[in-house]
Amino acid sequence: MVRILQIDTSPRHDRSHSRMLAREFMEKWSDLHPETKIIHRDLGLNPVPYIDATWVKAKFTPPEQYTPELASAIELSDDLIDEFLAADRYVLSTPMYNFSIPAVLKSYIDHIVRPRRTFAVGSGGFQGLVTDKKMLIFTARGSDFSPGSAFASLDFQEPFLRTVFNFIGITDIQFINANALNSDRRDKSLAEARTAIQDLTFCW
């Protein structure tokens, strides 16, 4: 049985393009793979809080030395990591906000990128601990950041997400980027995304 953690991040609901594409993929995938277990984390509707000073102290404290205050500060992070590690695959949907990701997604990433849990630090440097997983990322952008476009070099979203998830060990990452959604090319862009969804339903 494959376990997929679906993470949605847009604060919009029915009007969100990134959610819509992830939902369409999950529906097609579930039809073909009914044994799939889906866990849904909705950061857009239920944001996780920002980390604070106590959390940072707990991050750098070995668990056996936690005070009750430190244990409490890091508890949500541990729960989010447990949920993350229990999945075999990830389907992440996100808008592009200000050339990158929404703050709710960055906050979530701050919680799950943790030494000893999702990466290790050794004499050879950093080592990702989240191995043998696959990730599929749906992005929605108002403008066009596709390769060769005028804004391509301003896409800090895909490079950031690749970097941070590579860092914790996830190297099999595919992007379906719906570009130019705030232009007359929206329908074409969504049609291209749907073609990619159709293909991935069979070969992901």
DSSP 60: T
Q: Minimal CB distance to ligand FMN: which residue?
A: 95
Contact 46, 105 (CB under 8 A): no
Task: Identify the residue among 4, 6, 7, 10 touching ligand FMN (CB under 6 A).
Answer: 10
Per-residue string for binding with ligand FMN, 109-128, x by CB under 6 A?
Answer: --------------------
Sign of CA dihedral 22, 44, 163, 147: positive
- How would you write 114-153 as a 3-class SS string? CECCCEEEECCEEEECCCCCEEEEEEECCCCCCCCCCCHH
77 forms part of the interface with ligand FMN (CB under 6 A)? no
- 160-189 footprint of ligand FMN as x/- string (CB under 6 A): ---------------------xx-------
CB contact at 8 A, 81 and 50 = no
Q: Which is nearer to ligand FMN, 18 or 118 (CB)?
A: 18
Q: Is 88 helix (H, G, I), strand (E, B) or coil?
A: coil
| Binding piece for ligand FMN, criterion CB under 6 A, among 55-63, 96-104, 122-130, 158-166 | 96-104
- Interface contacts to ligand FMN, rule CB under 6 A: 10, 12, 16-19, 95-99, 140-143, 181-182
